[in-house]
Structure 1
């Protein structure tokens, strides 16, 4: 049985680095350039998994030893059994994260492939709200906010890819000292309209975790 090791965003990062090396091979890059690309990619992957065992490191570095561009997809596929799924979560657990939304409509949790999920998200059309669920420091956290399509493309603040965007605006629960009772602060960012595609592109969770901290602390 394969030991889960690779989170979704890490797998996306590996694919991105593999794509850079694959492109270098296809374009017949100078051997010195090619070796530099290999070294850079391997170093970045090791930084993602500082506690990996020798066997795990060997598994991760295999793809960066490839000599033929056509072998990359096969070896990426071989990493999939090592993907770490998004932690199991029930509808009841999600509802507890959003107690003020008594008639919250949830996505079909049974239809989701949790291997390729960094964060759960869905839109409630009736309320024009976007809901995000993330697993942080051993527990689930939920963020909700207004969802406004922009009808234009731009760079998503989460995955940094050029996609169709929506403005996601949430009310921060963090209150500075000595504020008035009616104090509130809205926190907004542009993110992918398609959360599933965003999860496929996400290579770093720093922006997501920073946003969550800004909203809920």
Structure 2
């Protein structure tokens, strides 16, 4: 099976399918439902590989009189083999991305759904730190930062969605004289949820541009 769908495209597909299932439950007018279905199918077709049996089965499965949330979930799962997942990194590879971190806390890989991950993020609550590994200009970079224990409602700088966010601050420059420049923004406390909401990778790139260390 050729993997052709990006993780953020899968997030877009998931959101559109879940919206369609919600419409089926809340809208009684069959004409309105038909219009929304046609619009959704057109949008999904542009994201899925053409002339692929999985694509045809998936789209056909959406065209039912009443699309339940359970049925929508089952259909979305059929697309997983087509997704380009986030790579699983070894402890050595992660350590190289965070050379200055002693005793790096490793993410719980078995609990992660890599087909939903545009980036990797995990929290170290004991040290009030957050670690990010993400694609930046065609290669993976590692960013560490202070992560506030205080959670507020706000817009995440990465997924651009309102949710439970906290302030992430990374040291971007050091003068060598004991003074540092720190930059950051509010991002989702739960990186898994953030990934599921992320449909535009440009916002992630913009965030990384702000928080990555600057060369003197």
Counterpart residue number, 1:69: 67
The residue matched to 2:142 in structure 1 has which SS? strand
Is residue 201 of structure 2 the alignment partner of residue 205 of structure 1? yes
The question of whether the paired residues in 1 share the 8 Å contact of 2:159 and 2:204 is answered with no
Given the superposition, is the C-alpha separation of residues 136 and 44 from structure 1 closer, same or farther in structure 2, using an over 3 Å criterion? Answer: farther
CA distance in 2, matches of 1:137, 1:58: 34
The question of whether the paired residues in 1 share the 8 Å contact of 2:151 and 2:164 is answered with yes
How far 1:101 moved relative to its partner?
Answer: 1.2
CA distance in 1, matches of 2:74, 2:198: 21
The question of whether the paired residues in 1 share the 8 Å contact of 2:128 and 2:149 is answered with no
Counterpart residue number, 1:6: 5
Match of 1:193 among 176, 189, 204: 189
Counterpart residue number, 1:30: 29
Q: Which deviations, in whole Å up to 9, do the C-alpha atoms of 1:48-83 show, x marking residues without a partner?
A: 45xx33326535633543332224233223223323
CA distance in 1, matches of 2:64, 2:192: 30
Task: Give 5+ residue unaligned stretches, structure 2.
Answer: none
TM-score calculated relative to the size of structure 1:
0.79
The residue matched to 1:157 in structure 2 has which SS? coil
Q: Which deviations, in whole Å up to 9, do the C-alpha atoms of 1:27-64 show, x marking residues without a partner?
A: 34434432332343234334545xx3332653563354
The residue matched to 2:157 in structure 1 has which SS? coil
How far 1:215 moved relative to its partner?
Answer: 2.8
Counterpart residue number, 2:145: 145
How far 1:169 moved relative to its partner?
Answer: 1.2
How far 1:137 moved relative to its partner?
Answer: 4.3
Is residue 122 of structure 2 the alignment partner of residue 114 of structure 1? no
CA distance in 1, matches of 2:194, 2:40: 22
TM-score calculated relative to the size of structure 2:
0.79
How far 1:153 moved relative to its partner?
Answer: 2.5
Given the superposition, is the C-alpha separation of residues 81 and 15 from structure 1 closer, same or farther in structure 2, using an over 3 Å criterion? Answer: same
